[in-house]
Structure 1
């Protein structure tokens, strides 16, 4: 058995960690690199093992000197903040990380390199808060909708009875206003309750069939001035899910993007990108998944207003006049029913909705 094979078998447990771990020597050559490193750098480990680890970091000299000091036993553990290059992933910006270099027992030539994404813990905390908030919001919606629904029927019935006894057309117009507004509120309540009434229809789902359906519907609504770009990873496997729920979730997000691009559509420069990728060793909430679908819906619109950016998935929060504020709430609910998560990053000229769904 080769030295590498023996080393790999010893360190295989590191593949189950969410943090990036590598075993390296003084020259920066890898004896082992775990799955989290593969996912973060966007390259298979056999390729990573042929590279010099020092080249992955902008602070190359700092890492080299720290490794040398640990090997020379000047100290057992060295720590520093650094920037990790990501040339082969969707976001090519350097990733802020905290680096830990530790001695390995019974090894004088190798050290353990642990790299922790600085934003990782913050993101996990944010996802946990989002899931808790969504559960509380759904419970509040159900209770509130039922409390509203019952008196609405009584109000509508009373208005109809009153209308039957009126002979004055002007007064009848008032009862018609009451009935019309009650029906509008009834429709809103029904939309709030709809996700909780219909059971999931689970079957094998191809995400690209879902996206093609959404793409066709949006282009029918916006036939001019909008470019809908496909950027698909066709190797993604099918998964079990509710096709109609996923279509509705993606459609709600994409329609919002198309509506936000109204000015650019008139100029003929509006663009929405539908992008799919495989994400490995992903943590969603408190669960770790070996493989997940990463779906991006990106537009070149004006961005989400800063005052509602943190509340964009809350019910009845809308960034446009006439919006119900339910589209993104329903999208979040449908994605969470698939054990997934949805989040938004926005700035003027670029808004990105990122959906993660576990894959088998």
Structure 2
């Protein structure tokens, strides 16, 4: 065969080999993309045993692929897991199912909220492909906006109570004090009880009035570490004197723009909650700061989007938040404490919202984490001495 004929054969061989190479490259790209997805992606066979899982799924179930392979997903979930029911529905119906804000109870005791998408693998009857990712930030923002509406209702209620309840209570307290000199010593304890209860109700109304719309916040560049240091000193000399407080700060963090006193009020509430949740004999509160890109929020009455890179986390080593409380933590009058008013976290949410920021809850291992995101200051701080 001549050289020209050999060239034609070589060219045909190359053409035949090219599709295989293209397929191989495509499969490699798909594998790379799947491995780098932040969402957990895995496949189950007809018996709901793992037949594939990406690294995010391994992280979710805290198990390597060697551990997951061939094992039933039911062994990694709590009893009566909704995810198992969804997978069986997909197998039975042969159609995709998406369910949002699913409470995913893992066998190790951790619970998280995820958005789930399950679909049948058409080429393999009975097999199911699942995609899980943490409940979206948009849902958390919706909850916070709803809570802010509730806060405005609390403020309106407080204004009514101040007029209809607080003022008459002051009269009752005054009358009790006027009667005290004419009452026998054994009955004076009742006068004190009347005064104490009147004061308690008035203080509760005063706390509710804090939810009133603040108007214009006096915004200025604030060193968030000075705010946290001030709060830490208050805690160490008061309600958290028996706990260990650990600080993990990013020293390069820029200033935030806001009201220093209101920020102190918010973080004091968060650290007080952490101190009450931590065990009395070995309690630990960790305060950490870091700079994180990625979260932007719309500015009201503007097309501008504000980035929230300043991140502060308050972590405790207590028992964590009950599952039935997680979605209602920042609502007014919701509390897991026997004598709690349920206004502390709601007020924190309002203060952060007034600053254009956000506060969220994240389950800890163990304990609870409250994460605050705030915008950075747009202008430098005027140095006028250190204020602690």
Shorter-normalised TM-score: what interval? 0.5 to 0.7
- 2-side partners of 1:159 and 1:225: how far apart? 39
Partner of 2:229: 212
Greater shift, 322-331 or 149-158, is seen at 322-331
Q: 1:243 Cα deviation (Å)?
A: 0.8
**Of 176, 195, 204, the match for 1:188:** 204
Q: 1:291 Cα deviation (Å)?
A: 4.1
- Alignment of 1:137 with 2:154, yes or no, is yes
- Alignment of 1:314 with 2:327, yes or no, is no
Partner of 2:185: 169
- 1-side partners of 2:41 and 2:279: how far apart? 50
Unaligned ranges ≥5, structure 1:
1-24, 30-51, 63-81, 87-92, 99-114
Q: Secondary structure at the match of 1:149?
A: helix
Q: 1:303 Cα deviation (Å)?
A: 1.2
Classify 1:84/1:213 alpha carbon distance in 2 versus 1 (closer, same or farther; 3 Å).
farther
Q: CA RMSD in A?
A: 4.3
Partner of 2:247: 230
Partner of 1:279: 292
Classify 1:196/1:132 alpha carbon distance in 2 versus 1 (closer, same or farther; 3 Å).
closer
User: Contact 1:124 / 1:284 at 8 angstroms: preserved in 2?
Assistant: no
Classify 1:162/1:270 alpha carbon distance in 2 versus 1 (closer, same or farther; 3 Å).
closer
Q: How does 1:60-209 map to 2 (within 5 A)?
A: 85=56, 119-120=135-136, 121-163=138-180, 166-194=182-210, 196=212, 200-209=217-226
Q: How does 1:30-49 map to 2 (within 5 A)?
A: none
**Of 288, 303, 309, the match for 1:292:** 309
Classify 1:84/1:234 alpha carbon distance in 2 versus 1 (closer, same or farther; 3 Å).
farther
Unaligned ranges ≥5, structure 2:
1-24, 43-52, 58-111, 118-130, 379-388
Task: Name which one, 1 or 2, has greater alpha-carbon Rg.
Answer: 2
Classify 1:154/1:228 alpha carbon distance in 2 versus 1 (closer, same or farther; 3 Å).
same
Classify 1:279/1:144 alpha carbon distance in 2 versus 1 (closer, same or farther; 3 Å).
farther
- 1-side partners of 2:322 and 2:40: how far apart? 39
Q: Secondary structure at the match of 1:262?
A: coil
Classify 1:53/1:310 alpha carbon distance in 2 versus 1 (closer, same or farther; 3 Å).
closer
Classify 1:344/1:154 alpha carbon distance in 2 versus 1 (closer, same or farther; 3 Å).
same
- 2-side partners of 1:177 and 1:60: how far apart? 58
- CA deviation vs aligned residue, 1:311-359 (integer Å, no higher than 9, x gap): 3333444333444433323222221221222122346722011112222
Partner of 1:57: 37
Greater shift, 242-251 or 254-263, is seen at 254-263
Partner of 1:261: 278
Classify 1:136/1:356 alpha carbon distance in 2 versus 1 (closer, same or farther; 3 Å).
farther
Partner of 1:78: none
- CA deviation vs aligned residue, 1:280-331 (integer Å, no higher than 9, x gap): 3424478742343222111111112344433333344433344443332322
Partner of 1:341: 358
Instruction: With the length of structure 2 as denominator, give the TM-score of the two structures.
Output: 0.57
- 1-side partners of 2:152 and 2:314: how far apart? 24
Instruction: With the length of structure 1 as denominator, give the TM-score of the two structures.
Output: 0.61
Q: Secondary structure at the match of 1:131?
A: helix
Classify 1:96/1:218 alpha carbon distance in 2 versus 1 (closer, same or farther; 3 Å).
same
